[in-house]
Structure formats: C-alpha cells, structure tokens
Amino acid sequence: MSNLKMIVGLGNPGAKYALNRHNVGFQSIDRFARRHRIEGGRVQNRAMTIDTWITRGDSRAKVILVKPMTYMNDSGASVGPLAHYYHVEPADIIVVHDDLDMESGKLRLRRDGSSGGQNGVKSIAQHLGSQEFHRAKVGIGRPPGRMDPAAYVLQDFSAQEEEIFVPLREKVCDALECWLFEGIEVAMNKFNG
C-alpha cells in the first residue's frame, strides 16, 4: 500500500500537438509543475514522469506527475504499469483530460464512471482493470457544423479560446491541489459549481 498520489495528464507527444485542444491534460500538468517550481523528470514506462512533494501550509503530499508518451488512445499502456510499479491504487489516481460533450471552458471532477467515449480514459480503465480512478474533465465543446470531431480535437486553441483556457488551467491546478489535500468529495463540491 502506497500513500503516493498520481496525477495523469492526457495528450499526444510532440511539438505539433502541444497546443491542441486534445492536449489540455498535458498543458494542465505542465502548468501545475511550473506553479510548484518542479523541473526535470524522466522517461519511465513510456511516460514523462516527475515524482515530488507538494506542500500546502503545514501539509505535504507525495505525488507523481505523469504524461503518457503513447499517444492518447493507448494511455493505459503507460499508466497501468506505472500504477502497478508504484503500488498506487486507482482511487489515488486523477486523470486530467479533454471532454467534447462538455461546454468549452467548463471543469467537472468525477469520482469514477465510464469513459464517456474518451479513448485515453477507456485505455486507462482497461489497463488498471478498474474505472475507480478520478477524473478532471475539461470541456472543449463540440466542433462547429459538420466538422469531424477527430480533426477538431487536434486543432490548436484559438486566441479567443486561450482567453478562457489560461485561467481555466489555473483552476484545474487549484482543483488538483484540493484533491491532493482534501480528497475528491471536497474537490467536487468546490469545483463542480
């Protein structure tokens, strides 16, 4: 049994995807690391990882930040072995990911549940053998008109969207800190308003 918590951000590796809507999980993890002045990291089990301590007041939490380098749809091939290696239970994992079915700019935390069609989340559930990990779902909205959703998620955020998503990434970081120190129920109550 470990008291290590795992924060996973979903996205696709490589510079051409860095600013995509689909990479809001990676972007949030990067923002969280900058906020806490965490640098470095290593490649481990096909992921970029950083294990560190996060401090809030007199409290400290041991955490590993994970960005799977497997491409979105196979994220579980990285997350599953890492969770096994570090003895992290599903209930001590939170996954930050984009959500097409939520209004753009909204954040919703969930205790567990189905993948909702998000292939990265589906892959993680398969590799963990459980859906009982937590989610920080970031709404990116539906594509306009008849645009293919796959093309939409692989587009960069527009300048207008960035006006919403810059503060939203900060809110995601606030929610992750709340989850770390106060648990999923408190975080849901605070951030699902």
Q: Are 152 and 21 in contact (CB under 8 A)?
A: yes
Domain layout of the chain by residue ranges: 5-191
- Beta strand spans in the chain (E): 5-9, 42-44, 47-56, 59-68, 93-99, 107-110, 134-139
Q: Identify which of 64, 56, 48 has the alpha carbon closest to the alpha carbon of residue 6.
A: 64
- 3-state DSSP call for residue 145? coil
Q: Identify which of 67, 97, 56 has the alpha carbon closest to the alpha carbon of residue 181.
A: 56
Per residue in 31-72, pLDDT (tens digit) is: 999 999 999 899 999 999 999 999 999 999 999 999 999 999
Residue 193 clears pLDDT 80, i.e. is over it? no
**Active-site residue set:** 22
pLDDT band for 2, please (50, 70, 90 cuts). low
107-110 and 47-56 strand pairing: unpaired
Q: What are phi and psi of 105, to 5 degrees?
A: 90, 0
pLDDT band for 1, please (50, 70, 90 cuts). very low
User: What's the pTM?
Assistant: 0.96
Q: Are 92 and 4 in contact (CB under 8 A)?
A: yes
Q: Among 3.40.50.1470, 3.40.50.720, 1.10.340.30, 3.30.420.10, name the CATH number for the domain at 5-191.
A: 3.40.50.1470
Per residue in 135-162, pLDDT (tens digit) is: 999 999 999 999 999 999 999 999 999 9
